[in-house]
Amino acid sequence: MNFELSEDQVMLRDLVRDFAEKEIAPKIGTLEDKHEFPKAIIGQLAEIGVLGMTVPPEFGGSRTDFLSYILALEELARVSATVCVIVSVHDSLFCGSILKFGSDFQKQKYLPRAARGEILGAFSLTEPGAGSDAMNLKTKAVRSGDEYVLNGTKAWVTSGGEADALIIIALTGAETGAPKASAFIVDKGTPGLKVARIEDKMGLHSSPTAMLTLEDCRVPVQNRLADEGRGAAIALAGLDSSRIGIAAQAVGLSQQALELAVAYSKQREAFGKKLAEFQALQFMMADIATLLEAGRLLTYRAAELLERGKSITKEAAMAKLFTSEAANKIAYMALQIHGGYGYSKEYLIERLYRDARIFSIYEGTSEIQRLVIARKLLKES
């Protein structure tokens, strides 16, 4: 077992870290305060190849091994969980699904532009009544000649209002009494596709999350991703890999929380000593570092297994479960070390504490990850 990153992986990680520190860190706080989408930053990320990291060169991408991609997400999340999730949805769920399930026409049409950052992608599975129970879909796609007519409401779509193209999961065959989920690529501006509302969230303020309505929204048959009835498989495959991305997001944020806690403890004094001298706080920092490293190893292992083409459903769920729960504990302890100042928006840890809360909810809650892990365990035994 080799725990060393390759030279290329280290170079890539350092490149993204450098970019994140110079180009994202100084700007993202203001954007978060204004709830503004980081458009310029996403454009710059396209220039350095980050938006095409899951896209092979023949489709204009900069595809790397999967662990390198995960390292890049971790570095983005170390300075901004918001930027990380926008990239993760675009790279893993949008580009990844088209690459795996798309026709040549779809790959040629969407992937080169997505890799260059000319279009941003989103992925919409959730509905108001279908979150954890993801296949309880109500949105219908009815075939009409060379088109499908989509009607329904999609909820909680990351980048939903910003995206130039979305993969939307909807039911086909409802009219025959045997409905099955299918996936469609829907372009922004398609008549009938509307942003009904942007959610007012606790965190990730620069990542707008949209509720979308589809009213007689006509999508050409050539925009159906794979065959009718493949929607569940497409969603599950996308989620397997993107859950490793969310684990990387949790690891990156946790790394930042550790760095902030250590720096603050060395600077602030109480009872004539630096906070770092109190064993109670040293123990918190030791726990943070241990949780962080354990989560990082689970995440890298899942990434490495995916790269080797292994089934990673259980490993991705474990990495996502552990790191997202750990990030919440870590953000809590790191904020505690900051005392009252940690509760102030003046200190970065306040944002990390809010942003961490989503990790154990989206792309499958912690309870759902446990179900996935347990099901696999019982099947394997």
Ligand X SMILES: Cc1cc2nc3c(=O)[nH]c(=O)nc-3n(C[C@H](O)[C@H](O)[C@H](O)COP(=O)(O)OP(=O)(O)OC[C@H]3O[C@@H](n4cnc5c(N)ncnc54)[C@H](O)[C@@H]3O)c2cc1C
Of residues 24, 98, 157, 373, which one binds ligand X by CB under 6 A?
157
Both structure tokens of 233 = 């498989």
Specify the DSSP element, H or E, that contains 374: helix 366-380
Q: How far apart are CA 48 and CA 330, in angstroms?
A: 31
- Render 203-268 in DSSP notation, one character per residue: S-TTS-EEEEEEEEEEEEGGGEESSTT-HHHHHHHHHHHHHHHHHHHHHHHHHHHHHHHHHHHHH-
Residue number with the smallest Cβ distance to ligand X: 131
**Which residues are bridge partners to 149 per DSSP?**
142, 218
Q: How far apart are CA 42 and CA 24, in angstroms?
A: 10
Instruction: Assess 363 for contact with ligand X (CB under 6 A).
Output: yes
In whole angstroms, how close is the CB of 127 to ligand X at the nearest point? 8
In whole angstroms, how close is the CB of 373 to ligand X at the nearest point? 13
Q: Collect all residues with Cβ–Cβ distance below 8 Å to 251 and sequence separation of at least 6.
A: 74, 77, 292, 295, 296, 299, 323, 327
Cβ proximity to ligand X, 93 vs 219, nearer residue: 93
Of residues 80, 206, 209, 241, which one binds ligand X by CB under 6 A?
209
Q: Which has the closest alpha carbon to 367: 327, 311, 320, 332?
A: 320
* Residue 363 bears catalytic tag: yes
Number of residues binding to ligand X, judged by CB under 6 A: 21
Tell me the CA distances in angstroms from 166 to 199, 288, 301, 322, 347, one per residue in order. Answer: 18, 37, 30, 29, 36
Q: What is the dihedral of CA 343, 347, 353, 355, to 10 degrees?
A: 130
Instruction: Assess 84 for contact with ligand X (CB under 6 A).
Output: no
Of residues 30, 132, 222, 311, which one binds ligand X by CB under 6 A?
132
In whole angstroms, how close is the CB of 194 to ligand X at the nearest point? 17
In whole angstroms, how close is the CB of 132 to ligand X at the nearest point? 3
Cβ proximity to ligand X, 44 vs 365, nearer residue: 365
Instruction: Assess 80 for contact with ligand X (CB under 6 A).
Output: no
Among the candidate windows 50-58, 105-113, 121-129, 176-184, which touches ligand X by CB under 6 A? 121-129
Instruction: Assess 362 for contact with ligand X (CB under 6 A).
Output: yes
Instruction: Assess 229 for contact with ligand X (CB under 6 A).
Output: no
Q: Collect all residues with Cβ–Cβ distance below 8 Å to 203 and sequence separation of at least 6.
A: 81, 351, 354, 355, 356, 357, 358
Residue written as token pair 């729960």: 325
Instruction: Assess 304 for contact with ligand X (CB under 6 A).
Output: no
Instruction: Assess 97 for contact with ligand X (CB under 6 A).
Output: no
Among the candidate windows 107-115, 275-283, 301-309, 363-371, which touches ligand X by CB under 6 A? 363-371
Q: Which has the closest alpha carbon to 114: 137, 140, 96?
A: 96
Instruction: Assess 126 for contact with ligand X (CB under 6 A).
Output: yes
Cβ proximity to ligand X, 179 vs 203, nearer residue: 203
Residues 36, 206: contact at Cβ < 8 Å?
Answer: yes
Instruction: Assess 364 for contact with ligand X (CB under 6 A).
Output: yes
Half-sphere exposure at residue 51, Cβ-oriented, CA atoms within 13 angstroms: 25
Annotated active-site residue in 7, 228, 363, 380: 363
In whole angstroms, how close is the CB of 237 to ligand X at the nearest point? 14
Instruction: Assess 367 for contact with ligand X (CB under 6 A).
Output: yes
Cβ proximity to ligand X, 62 vs 82, nearer residue: 82
In whole angstroms, how close is the CB of 192 to ligand X at the nearest point? 19
Q: How far apart are CA 73 and CA 319, in angstroms?
A: 14
Cβ proximity to ligand X, 132 vs 222, nearer residue: 132
Q: How far apart are CA 206 and CA 184, in angstroms?
A: 26
Instruction: Assess 156 for contact with ligand X (CB under 6 A).
Output: yes
Of residues 19, 69, 101, 123, which one binds ligand X by CB under 6 A?
123
Catalytic residues: 363
Give me the residues that bind ligand X (CB under 6 A), please. Answer: 89, 123-126, 131-132, 156-158, 201, 204, 209, 358, 361-365, 367-368
